[in-house]
């Protein structure tokens, strides 16, 4: 059976059209699914019984089931381990900020990219997530907390740009005003740097309507040599190719670029690293301002043997960047008392 939550409103309209139904039915059913969040077709009371039965013959309404939830006593961050229909596990994180809530969601089961500091990649990539499975992670968080999510980061397990078609479908669904209606400007896609896909994303919508989502690049090193030691993808694309692609994204969309930089003690956190990073990221934002560098003190992952720098070392790195005119922020360590690093909870469940 297919998951009806995988369908965009347009795809739903096409399906209903093939049943001989009027186009406005798509809007009604989409709202039942993505705004009112019904769990069965019978709850769609303004839809005829015949149509409800027909839909139920072909589709299910998918749902992510939380197998485990860890709640931070420090800040209320919730980390979810979800079990999918096929028995796969993925993780999602609900983060509470002062004025909004952010959902960090996964795009694949596991990840093939092999970044050394990441637990999600230890068993490789098992499969892509569907658009519905991405949305369901957010819906499950809202059901559990009773609070609305307004910002989404696709930064959990998986490389979203390698699941491109489903990612596009998910963004279409989650930003649709007849459903959840999250503004595209509040959606951030985080990539380890798949250069052709960055160009493709930049050119979505043609010359008329650019994709207004934010792009974050997992950079993690200021030179190709160092990056290759941390991230196998660096064997494929150089930093100069990557920064060109990111500039192109900025030129097309004018969305601010973010560069993620996991600080690993003794590997990429020296004053020279900061200087090289600042040089690399010069002119990556609007005139008079720079791109933003998110510094993430790495969560130690036993399997990778990587160490976390001290708070002072992180501050020194940030200050050095700022001396060169680059904005840096040390990521607020939400949920530091729970299994913070991406993929750790899932790994434990397999252990």
Binding site residues, ligand SF4, CB under 6 A: 111, 113-115, 118, 120-121, 157-159, 192, 218, 342
- Min dist. Cβ of residue 160 to ligand SF4 (A): 9
Nearest distance in Å: CB 203, ligand SF4: 23
15 or 191: whose CB is closer to ligand SF4? 191
Of 121 and 268, nearer to ligand SF4 (C-beta) is 121
Cα separation, 90 vs 127, whole angstroms: 11
Q: In angstroms, how far apart are the furthest CA atoms of the chain? A: 69
What is the spatial distance between Cα 327 and Cα 172, in angstroms, rounded to a whole number?
Answer: 31
Whole-number minimum distance, CB 154 to ligand SF4, in Å? 10
Nearer of residues 34 and 220 to ligand SF4, judged by Cβ: 220
| Active-site hit among 64, 111, 118, 342 | 342
> Catalytic: 91?
yes
Tell me which of 64, 91, 111, 118 is the catalytic residue. 91
In angstroms, what is the minimal distance from the CB of 166 to ligand SF4?
A: 16
Quote the tokens at residue 262.
């996991």
Residue closer to ligand SF4 by CB (options 158, 285) is 158
- 348 CB neighbour count, 10 Å cutoff: 12
Task: Give the C-alpha distances (Å, rounded to integers) separating 252 from 10, 162, 184, 217, 218.
Answer: 26, 21, 15, 16, 20
> Which residue number, 34 or 116, has a Cβ lying nearer to ligand SF4?
116
Report the Cα 183 to chain-centroid distance in Å.
Answer: 15
Cα 112 to Cα 46, 119, 192, 281: the distances in Å are: 45, 11, 11, 27
Nearest-approach distance from CB 233 to ligand SF4, in angstroms: 7
The contacts found for 141-145 with CB under 8 angstroms, 24 or more apart, are 141/78, 141/80, 141/92, 141/94, 141/103, 143/37, 144/66, 144/69, 144/78, 144/80, 144/94, 145/78, 145/94, 145/101
| 314 given a catalytic annotation | no
Q: Are strands 187-191 and 65-71 parallel, antiparallel or unpaired?
A: unpaired
The catalytic residue positions are 91, 342
């Amino acid at each position: 059976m297919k998951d009806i939550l995988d369908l965009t409103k347009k795809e739903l309209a096409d399906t209903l059209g093939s049943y001989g139904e009027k186009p406005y039915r798509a809007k009604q059913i989409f709202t039942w699914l993505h705004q009112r969040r019904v769990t069965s077709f019978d709850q769609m009371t303004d839809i005829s019984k015949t149509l409800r039965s027909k839909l139920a013959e072909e589709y299910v309404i998918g749902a992510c089931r939380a197998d485990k939830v860890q709640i931070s006593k420090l800040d209320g961050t919730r980390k979810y381990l979800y079990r999918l229909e096929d028995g796969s596990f993925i993780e999602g994180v609900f983060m509470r900020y002062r004025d909004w809530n952010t959902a960090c969601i996964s795009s694949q089961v596991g990840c093939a990219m092999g970044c050394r500091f990441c637990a999600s990649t230890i068993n490789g990539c098992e499969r892509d997530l569907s658009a519905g499975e991405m949305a369901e992670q957010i819906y499950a968080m809202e059901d559990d907390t009773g609070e609305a999510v307004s910002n989404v980061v696709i930064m959990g397990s998986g490389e979203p740009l390698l699941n491109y078609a489903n990612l596009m479908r998910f963004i279409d669904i989650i930003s649709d005003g007849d459903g959840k209606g999250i503004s595209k400007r509040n959606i951030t896609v985080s990539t380890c740097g798949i250069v052709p896909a960055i160009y493709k994303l930049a050119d979505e919508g043609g010359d008329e309507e650019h994709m207004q989502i934010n792009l974050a690049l997992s950079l993690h090193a200021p030179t190709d040599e160092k990056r290759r030691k941390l991230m196998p993808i660096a064997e494929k694309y150089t930093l100069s190719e990557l920064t060109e692609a990111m500039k192109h994204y900025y030129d097309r969309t004018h969305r601010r670029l973010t560069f993620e930089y996991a600080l690993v003690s003794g590997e990429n956190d020296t004053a020279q690293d900061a200087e090289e990073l600042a040089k690399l990221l010069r002119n990556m934002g609007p005139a008079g301002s720079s791109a933003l560098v998110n510094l993430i003190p790495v969560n130690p992952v036993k399997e990778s043997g990587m160490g976390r720098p001290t708070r002072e070392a992180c501050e020194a790195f940030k200050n050095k960047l700022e001396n060169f005119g680059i904005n840096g922020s040390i990521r607020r360590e939400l949920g530091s008392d729970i299994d913070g690093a991406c993929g750790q909870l899932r790994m434990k469940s397999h252990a």
